Amino acid sequence: MTNEPAIVARGLTRRFGRNVAVDHVDLEVPRRAIFGFLGPNGSGKSTTIRMLCGLLTPSAGEATVLGLEMPRDAEKLRRKLGYMTQRFSLYEDLTTLENLQFLASIYSLPRATARARIGRLLDEFHLREIADQRAGTMSGGQRQRLALAGATLHEPELLFLDEPTSAVDPQSRRDFWETLYSLVERGTTILVSTHFMDEAERCHELAILDRGRVVAAGAPEKLMREIDAAVLEIEGAEPRAARAALERNPAVRSVAQLGTRLHALVDPQLADPVQSVADALRAARVEGHVALARASLEDVFVAATRHAQAGQDA
């Protein structure tokens, strides 16, 4: 198959009144991979996904999805696209089986194909025991498995998952990601939005969104490796006092407390960040042991969003 990107967006923008929800977003989503949108609530993740599936008309910019121009060719995309909405959108008063059979008919699957696929999905997503249970009475994890089964029933090339795991316990979340990897193995391209760092770390590629803009993009390891900050960990008896001392220092971009430890992002231009921070602590008469640490995705996220804020304020 073609190796063109599954999604290309240029300057994608969406305004709601005076509020800019998505601000000149450029994207290139490779095929057969999991691409993640990481961002807080209101960062424009859902709005971008909705524009990419042709549900919302962009105020500016353009998007090509599987070679189809959005929103003009939205109808042609329908059969190739599976969409799992943020809110459970199957029918709560229908059973698992009824919901899946309804979707099979809507996608005009031949009867035999539908029966075979529904049977396979029931096994694969562990829905067999709740096949005759109404969706409204299911747990968050069960509903999510049903929703993903529904979104993949017509074997789409492209899958949009809008915060799929927000109502799901950690074990279900792990199983869910296993399923996503096996879908990718079979050739599916997946775009998933999340505000969980651990989940973002599982993606092949990431775009970090903040207030409608892409503030960082790339593979998670690369983002962590090339973080635009020095990451330090400070261990000491008085973390609150140490924190107060560090926050007064202009070279320190952010400080977060993790139990008794402090986690700080520091200006990478400093010649010796460890020494500078240790000096700052000594000047404030606070004891603490300073060491370099490996950047986490959260650090990347904080560094990227702080940066954007600073850039905007300037």
Stretch of 62-70, 90-98, 192-200, 305-313 contacting other proteins, by CB under 8 A: 90-98
Verify binding: residue 134, other proteins, rule CB under 8 A. no
Rg of the chain over all Cα atoms, to the nearest angstrom = 23
Number of residues that bind other proteins (CB under 8 A): 25
Expressed in angstroms, the distance from the first to the final Cα of the chain is: 47
Contact 96, 173 (CB under 8 A): no
Q: Establish if 196 lies at the interface with other proteins (CB under 8 A).
A: no
> Rule CB under 8 A: is residue 74 a binding residue for other proteins?
yes
Q: Is the C-alpha dihedral spanning 176, 181, 186, 191 positive or negative?
A: positive
Least distance from other proteins to the Cβ atom of residue 94, Å:
10
71 lies in the binding site for other proteins (CB under 8 A): yes
Distances (CA, A) of 203 to 46, 185, 190, 218: 17, 14, 9, 10
DSSP 89-121: -S-TTSBHHHHHHHHHHHTT--HHHHHHHHHHH
**Which listed residue (75, 129, 178, 272) binds other proteins by CB under 8 A?**
75
Please tell me whether residue 260 binds other proteins under the rule CB under 8 A. Answer: no
Q: How far apart are CA 147 and CA 135, in angstroms?
A: 10
Contact region with other proteins (CB under 8 A), list: 74-82, 183-191, 194-202, 244-252: 74-82
167 vs 239: CA distance, rounded Å: 34
Please say whether the beta carbons of 231 and 277 come within 8 A: no
Does position 149 interact with other proteins (CB under 8 A)? The reply is no
Q: For residue 262, which of 239, 282, 278 has the smallest C-alpha distance?
A: 239
- Binding residue for other proteins, selected from 79, 115, 120, 225, defined by CB under 8 A: 79
Q: From 72-80, 125-133, 181-189, 202-210, give the range in contact with other proteins by CB under 8 A.
A: 72-80
Contact flag: residue 264 with other proteins (CB under 8 A): no
- Contact flag: residue 212 with other proteins (CB under 8 A): no
Q: Rounded CA gap, 222 and 228, in Å?
A: 12
Among 4, 40, 57, 272, binds other proteins (CB under 8 A): 57
Residue 137 binds other proteins (CB under 8 A): no
User: Considering the rule CB under 8 A, would residue 108 count as an interface residue with other proteins?
Assistant: yes
Give helix 96-106 / helix 140-152 axis angle, nearest 10°.
Answer: 20
287 sits near other proteins (criterion: CB under 8 A): no
List residues near other proteins by CB under 8 A: 50, 53-57, 71, 74-75, 78-79, 81, 83, 85, 87-92, 103, 106-108, 150
